[in-house]
Chain A
Amino acid sequence: MALFAPNGLLGSSSLDKPIQPSKESLPMFSLTGLLGPPSTSASGSSSSSVAGPSKVFTPTGLLSDSQTGSQDDDDDLPPIAQAFGIPAALIARAESASSAPGYAPRNSVRATTFDGKTLFFKRKPKAVSTVHRIRAPLRGFKERMGNLLEVPIHRMLEQLSVDTATKLQEADRQPVPSTPDPEETIEDTLWVDRYRPRQFTDLMGNERVARETMEWVKQWDWCVFGKAKGKKRPREGDEALEELDEYHRPREKLLLLSGPPGLGKTTLAHVVAKQAGYEVMEINASDARSGSVIDDRIRPALESGSAVGSTKPVLLVIDEIDGATGAGESSNTFIHKLVQLTYDKPWKKSRGGKGRDPNAKRPILRPIICICNDQNAASLVKLRARALQIRFARPADIHTVKRLREVCEIEGLKADSRALTTLVGIARGDLRGCLNTLQFIKSRNQEVTETVIRAATVGMKEAETSLVSVLNSLFTPLTRKRVKELALTEVEESKYVGRLSREVDGCGRENSIAVGCFAHYATLHQHDANFKRYEKANEWLVTFDMLSAAMYSEGDFALSQYLPYTLVPFYPLFKERGGQRVERSQADWESLVRTRANEEIYKSLARCLQTASTRRGGDFRHLVSTPIMQLEFAPYINRIISPPLRPVNSQVIKPDERAVLGRLVDIMSTLELQFFQERAEDGQLTYRLDPPIDVFVTYDGKRAADISVSRYAVRHLVAGEIEAQMISRKVDIVERAKRGKHDFFGKSTSGKSARDQDSFSSPTKAVDGDAADPPNKRARTVAAVVDIADKPPTDFFGRLITAPSLTTTKAAQRKNVEKKYRVTYRYKEGNSAAVRKPIKMAAFM
């Protein structure tokens, strides 16, 4: 309607008026001139411009009347008419602003009437451009061409382009084009783009999510836009937001949007950012996303606050962040750096006169929104702790269906709501997928019915085969219903290889399927007298394993397409109607976990052996190698360290037992095997071996029968002795460093020299040797024993501690007096050698 206004004006004025409306005048303006031909006043012009729209029609009528004969003119008109569209007023304003001042004095003649009114007479333009002349014949009114083109052609063209632009904008803004014209519009945009929400209110479903996101973005207002903005009247419950930092940023500096694809996470981020007045800077999987990107691109953008050539503050959207580097401990990953960004402390404004460190990292003052599909991706571990997480759930199907139906109506696509519901169901709420499917159907000029939907979404559904469903179809034949659904003939039904191999292939987890088959086949209660079928099944499994091993070790992945076929034979061998459903077996996984745990124990045992071998001049090193340790060393060391000792005090122990004990303690302390006291859940104190090498003699949860389980009291005794030995060894090292080797070796025997010396000694001699240990060691052992005796007995084994400490000291005294050794005393508190000093025995008397 309004479209016609300028043109009509143009034509009509040229028809009736020798006095031309000024070139620079807006359509409205010239219209004024039209209406009041005899005397146009300045005041009149302004009033008419107000009344403009209503009068627009008259000239149009005029025009059509006058120009009935010229058809080519009509051809010319509609595009222009369209071009002028709605924003005529807008263009007019621009026009006047640009051109009016320059032309006004030249083109009008000023006159004053007798009663003092000022009149402006417009001058007829003299020069006619060649362009006008060319256009004129088209119109068929050669003599009036000057009148026809009151606006120069270049301006008209310019206007035209501006108009097209606005029209496009308009179309974008309006999700619903008012005129669906299927024949004429060629599909050049995806529906997904065409119906993408442009404003906050257009967002559908997930209102809570949208609001939360908006709220978080709004929390930045104080920081980004300054104090004045974003101030809202205080509400209850806002206290939580009060403990903000000095920039009034929200507590979480990052927002993590997560959810399945197609629900509109990216769109939400963009819409919210736009609505809140930000310029979006997006980083997605198509960009390089190594750690350096943060330093090179993101930090500068965030620190400068706005993108180049834009006045709006920037908001960073990191799309598909779960694909970025970030797993592991490396500090150079994208995620790590991103999180680091949020840690940066604000500047300290005053630092005692010292200038600000120019290299200090500045804190980020702009919001960052991260988007991912899988919230639990390994790479996001660090991020999750620092980010506000908002999870997208699938919106209720009703909403999605409603939106789809709206789209269908606009696009003139017939769709029944059942079909749409099915579509949404298949797509699992993925709106993008739904729209794409609909567009596809539309492009084939079909109606949306359930069968069409099913046909169009075949692939979509196939991708969803899970491990369990594949296993089930391997072990159970197709149900009657399913056969009917797929419309298979009997012959087709009996052909399973293609179907099953496709299914296995679709799942893509051949190894897990193989494990599943392995776990399941033997649980089936089928009569298999001579194990023929079992043999075949195993043959296939072995084949599978060899193929896959070859594939992985040689990197020959061309083999992978044959893998599914090795699993298909389970179907003819074991298919069973109405058999129990296949559950995922955990046995294999559990075994793997246990193996890992045991490997760790072996590793720590190997470490013990290595330290022992360093200490003993390479003695144990041959026992570390792989099969020997597992097959020979581990079982026998367990037997060696668990002799049948009686739980008695080490002072009343028999000499042969003492020899055993001494040797046990020696071996254990050399290997750094220790007993650690622990309180079991029932409150009982127990001693645990560390590293727990006793797992290697424990099968099916039972210890080997021939190894006596050493009792608490025995372990207690041994633990005490080992501790004493370890301390003495540490002290020895300190002493050696202090006194120098010569002095030390004169008095004590230890390490290799000791072994070399007493290697031929008889058992009694060994005992003696034990007794004749270095003096300080002896005394310390005594001290340790006293230590044990002093302890209140914690369980009933305690009653066996009978030896009075008096005899101990006496015995010690006797020995020490005899041998003229220096005696040291270790204080009970602490195991450090710091308080140790030589003291005469007399001091104790």
Chain B
Amino acid sequence: MSLWVDMYRPRALDDLHYHQGLSARLKSLAASGDFPHMLFYGPSGAGKKTRITCTLRQLFGPGVEKLKIDQRVFLSPSKRKIEVNIVQSNFHIEITPSEAGNYDRVVIQELLKEIAQTQQVDLNAKQRFKVVIINEADSLSRDAQAALRRTMEKYMSNMRIILCANSTSRLIAPIKSRCLLMRVAAPDNTEMQTVLTHVSRRAGFDLPPDAAQEIIQDSGGNLRKAILVLEALKMQSPDLSGPLTIAKPDWETYCQKVANLIVTEQTPARVMEIRTKFYELLSHCIPPTVILKTVAEAVVSQVDETLKAEIMHWAAFYEVRMRIGSKKIYHLEAWVVKVMSLYKQSFYQFDISEFE
């Protein structure tokens, strides 16, 4: 049995619970027969992929839900094998090129050309084109994006591309200009409340509004997370009554601990302690940028108002450097030392001023 996230995922544009305007636009686009390339962007868990599937269904009918999942092997220029999972139906194909790491260009080039150069075989198909969905488009390398540019124009008659990304900042401008940009914003609290109630009703129980509110508060606009939390909660305590403790993901709790360590004491020994904690987080494959962001947010919530901007500034500063560099732990620690130094400075100045 699937998880609720998938089980109660809306399948048609009409079933979507929020962003009705967007749904209407998508619907008319699908009906117009002049469907453009599209770029869906928005925060994680806002419903980008759900909307893409719904649009596809609108375009091609229920046949698009007959999915076939297989693995393709590509050869890199250095003859290394790259395995990429491909989800496809008769009308579309879905790839995640970031699986190929540095060789995403090869995947893009070979796969897209292959698709673009063949026409739709099914004569009963509603549209003459096929759709290629590229997930995690913002992690495409420069080369891969460049490879995409010309293909998008050249094979317009056979193929449309739908890109799905968290933000457009990492996409090159030529790509953005070739796409119709679709922003999928995170749902607000009432919208989330509707969705959660809907899910719980379909799952066959009543969700107390307090519990729903707590879940929504915790999820921060991430609907996928909210539904996962709901399901976990339902499994943990089936009746959902009484005071609920919303379980945070463990890495988040751990990041909180790190933040506490930073704020409570600023000594070399503490630096070492925090370092081991960072190693632990990194070894759990938590992306370092996420670590930095979470810890920084937690620290900021605990410090004096005057320091907040400074701390965030340095977090951003070191995040950029971390992306450029390769050894993440250096940058994490550099930030920690910076924050400790800032904190200490402000703390002592405050003390001194009081003495005087």
Q: How far is the CA of A552 from the CA of B324 in the complex (A)?
A: 11
Q: Cβ of A515: which chain B residues have Cβ within 8 Å of it? A: 327
Q: Cβ of A696: which chain B residues have Cβ within 8 Å of it? A: 250, 284
Q: How far is the CA of A523 from the CA of B275 in the complex (A)?
A: 12
- Say whether B135 faces chain A, with CB atoms less than 8 Å apart: yes
Smallest Cβ distance from A553 to chain B, in angstroms?
A: 8
- Inter-subunit contact A755/B287 (CB<8 Å): no
Of A534, A610, A633, A667, the most chain B CB neighbours within 10 A belong to A534
- Inter-subunit contact A534/B337 (CB<8 Å): yes
* Interface 9-residue window, one of A103-111, A121-129, A592-600: A592-600
- Inter-subunit contact B324/A549 (CB<8 Å): yes
- Inter-subunit contact B324/A530 (CB<8 Å): no
Encode contact with A along B278-313: 1 for CB under 8 Å, 0 otherwise: 011111111100100000000000000000000000
Q: How far is the CA of A643 from the CA of B287 in the complex (A)?
A: 29
- Say whether B202 faces chain A, with CB atoms less than 8 Å apart: yes
Of B85, B235, B329, the most chain A CB neighbours within 10 A belong to B235
Smallest Cβ distance from B95 to chain A, in angstroms?
A: 11
29 A-B pairs with C-beta separation under 8 A? A522-B275, A526-B268, A531-B341, A535-B334, A538-B334, A544-B330, A546-B321, A549-B327, A587-B275, A591-B282, A594-B283, A616-B2, A619-B6, A622-B6, A624-B96, A626-B136, A631-B286, A635-B250, A636-B247, A639-B235, A642-B235, A644-B236, A644-B237, A656-B238, A660-B238, A670-B1, A704-B247, A706-B236, A762-B204
Q: How far is the CA of A619 from the CA of B224 in the complex (A)?
A: 13
**Nearest chain B residue, comparing its CB with the CB of A666:** B1
Q: How far is the CA of A630 from the CA of B96 in the complex (A)?
A: 16
Specify which of A546, A616, A621, A766 is in contact with B87 (CB 8 Å cutoff): A621
Smallest Cβ distance from A717 to chain B, in angstroms?
A: 16
- Say whether A548 faces chain B, with CB atoms less than 8 Å apart: yes
Q: How far is the CA of A617 from the CA of B89 in the complex (A)?
A: 11
- Inter-subunit contact B250/A697 (CB<8 Å): yes
Contact residues of B with A, CB < 8 Å?
1-3, 5-8, 44-45, 49, 65-67, 69, 85, 87, 94, 96, 98, 135-136, 202, 204-205, 222, 224-225, 228-229, 231-232, 235-238, 245, 247, 249-251, 253-254, 266, 268, 271-272, 275-276, 279-287, 290, 318, 321, 324-327, 329-331, 333-334, 337-338, 340-341, 344-345
- Inter-subunit contact A548/B228 (CB<8 Å): no
Smallest Cβ distance from B2 to chain A, in angstroms?
A: 4
- Inter-subunit contact A664/B235 (CB<8 Å): yes
- Inter-subunit contact A539/B334 (CB<8 Å): yes
- Inter-subunit contact B85/A610 (CB<8 Å): yes
Q: How far is the CA of A521 from the CA of B65 in the complex (A)?
A: 58
Q: Cβ of B1: which chain A residues have Cβ within 8 Å of it? A: 663, 666-667, 670, 755
Q: Cβ of B96: which chain A residues have Cβ within 8 Å of it? A: 624-625
Specify which of B229, B235, B287, B340 is in contact with A630 (CB 8 Å cutoff): B287
- Say whether A195 faces chain B, with CB atoms less than 8 Å apart: no
Encode contact with B along A567-603: 1 for CB under 8 Å, 0 otherwise: 0000000000000000000011011001100110010
- Say whether A81 faces chain B, with CB atoms less than 8 Å apart: no
Q: Cβ of A544: which chain B residues have Cβ within 8 Å of it? A: 330
Specify which of A518, A595, A602, A761 is in contact with B330 (CB 8 Å cutoff): A518
Smallest Cβ distance from A72 to chain B, in angstroms?
A: 75
**Nearest chain B residue, comparing its CB with the CB of A551:** B326
Residues 612-629 (chain A) with a chain B CB within 8 angstroms = 612-614, 616-628
- Say whether A114 faces chain B, with CB atoms less than 8 Å apart: no
Specify which of B98, B224, B285, B326 is in contact with A552 (CB 8 Å cutoff): B326
- Say whether A532 faces chain B, with CB atoms less than 8 Å apart: yes
**Nearest chain B residue, comparing its CB with the CB of A704:** B250
Known: A550-B324, A640-B231, A755-B7. A524 touches B285 (CB 8 A): no
Residues 675-698 (chain A) with a chain B CB within 8 angstroms = 695-698
- Inter-subunit contact A639/B247 (CB<8 Å): yes
Known: A627-B290, A639-B235, A763-B204. A546 touches B284 (CB 8 A): no
Specify which of B87, B232, B238, B282 is in contact with A639 (CB 8 Å cutoff): B232
**Nearest chain B residue, comparing its CB with the CB of A602:** B285
Q: Cβ of B235: which chain A residues have Cβ within 8 Å of it? A: 639-643, 660, 663-664
Q: How far is the CA of A542 from the CA of B85 in the complex (A)?
A: 36
**Nearest chain A residue, comparing its CB with the CB of B48:** A622
- Inter-subunit contact B325/A522 (CB<8 Å): no
Q: How far is the CA of A706 from the CA of B247 in the complex (A)?
A: 7
Q: Cβ of B285: which chain A residues have Cβ within 8 Å of it? A: 595, 598-599, 602, 630
Q: Cβ of A765: which chain B residues have Cβ within 8 Å of it? A: 204
- Inter-subunit contact A623/B5 (CB<8 Å): yes
How big is the A interface, by class?
35 or more
- Say whether A844 faces chain B, with CB atoms less than 8 Å apart: no
Q: How far is the CA of A187 from the CA of B118 in the complex (A)?
A: 76
Specify which of B228, B237, B337 is in contact with A636 (CB 8 Å cutoff): B228
Q: How far is the CA of A535 from the CA of B282 in the complex (A)?
A: 22
Known: A599-B285, A632-B224. A625 touches B326 (CB 8 A): no
- Inter-subunit contact B69/A636 (CB<8 Å): no
Closest 6 CB pairs of A and B: A538-B334, A635-B249, A639-B232, A666-B1, A531-B341, A618-B67
Known: A542-B331, A644-B237, A699-B284. A522 touches B225 (CB 8 A): no
Given contacts A531-B341, A595-B283, A598-B285, 20 further A-B contacts (CB under 8 A): A538-B330, A538-B337, A539-B334, A549-B326, A549-B327, A590-B279, A591-B280, A591-B329, A594-B283, A610-B69, A618-B67, A619-B6, A621-B87, A625-B135, A626-B98, A631-B286, A632-B224, A640-B232, A666-B1, A755-B2
- Inter-subunit contact A632/B204 (CB<8 Å): no
Specify which of A591, A614, A641, A699 is in contact with B69 (CB 8 Å cutoff): A614
- Say whether A760 faces chain B, with CB atoms less than 8 Å apart: yes
Known: A531-B266, A706-B245. A631 touches B290 (CB 8 A): yes
Smallest Cβ distance from A447 to chain B, in angstroms?
A: 52
Known: A656-B238, A667-B1. A635 touches B231 (CB 8 A): no
**Chain B binding surface SS class:** helix
Q: How far is the CA of A755 from the CA of B6 in the complex (A)?
A: 11
Q: Cβ of B329: which chain A residues have Cβ within 8 Å of it? A: 518, 588, 591
Q: Cβ of A514: which chain B residues have Cβ within 8 Å of it? A: 327, 330
Q: How far is the CA of A596 from the CA of B280 in the complex (A)?
A: 13
Smallest Cβ distance from A774 to chain B, in angstroms?
A: 15
- Inter-subunit contact A545/B2 (CB<8 Å): no
Q: Cβ of A612: which chain B residues have Cβ within 8 Å of it? A: 2
- Say whether A759 faces chain B, with CB atoms less than 8 Å apart: yes
- Inter-subunit contact B341/A546 (CB<8 Å): no
Q: Cβ of A538: which chain B residues have Cβ within 8 Å of it? A: 330, 333-334, 337-338
Q: How far is the CA of A763 from the CA of B238 in the complex (A)?
A: 11
- Inter-subunit contact A667/B136 (CB<8 Å): no
**Nearest chain A residue, comparing its CB with the CB of B237:** A644
- Inter-subunit contact B2/A541 (CB<8 Å): no
- Inter-subunit contact A699/B2 (CB<8 Å): no
- Inter-subunit contact A545/B276 (CB<8 Å): no
Q: Cβ of A704: which chain B residues have Cβ within 8 Å of it? A: 247, 250, 253
Q: Cβ of A539: which chain B residues have Cβ within 8 Å of it? A: 334
Smallest Cβ distance from B192 to chain A, in angstroms?
A: 15
Q: Cβ of A632: which chain B residues have Cβ within 8 Å of it? A: 45, 222, 224-225, 228, 249
- Say whether A246 faces chain B, with CB atoms less than 8 Å apart: no
**Nearest chain B residue, comparing its CB with the CB of A641:** B235
**Nearest chain A residue, comparing its CB with the CB of B342:** A531
- Inter-subunit contact B324/A546 (CB<8 Å): yes
- Inter-subunit contact A766/B85 (CB<8 Å): no
Q: How far is the CA of A553 from the CA of B325 in the complex (A)?
A: 10
Q: How far is the CA of A183 from the CA of B309 in the complex (A)?
A: 83
Smallest Cβ distance from B331 to chain A, in angstroms?
A: 6
Smallest Cβ distance from B263 to chain A, in angstroms?
A: 15
- Inter-subunit contact B341/A595 (CB<8 Å): no
- Inter-subunit contact A587/B204 (CB<8 Å): no
Q: How far is the CA of A591 from the CA of B276 in the complex (A)?
A: 9
Smallest Cβ distance from B96 to chain A, in angstroms?
A: 6
Smallest Cβ distance from A741 to chain B, in angstroms?
A: 15
- Say whether A464 faces chain B, with CB atoms less than 8 Å apart: no
- Inter-subunit contact A618/B268 (CB<8 Å): no
Smallest Cβ distance from A111 to chain B, in angstroms?
A: 92
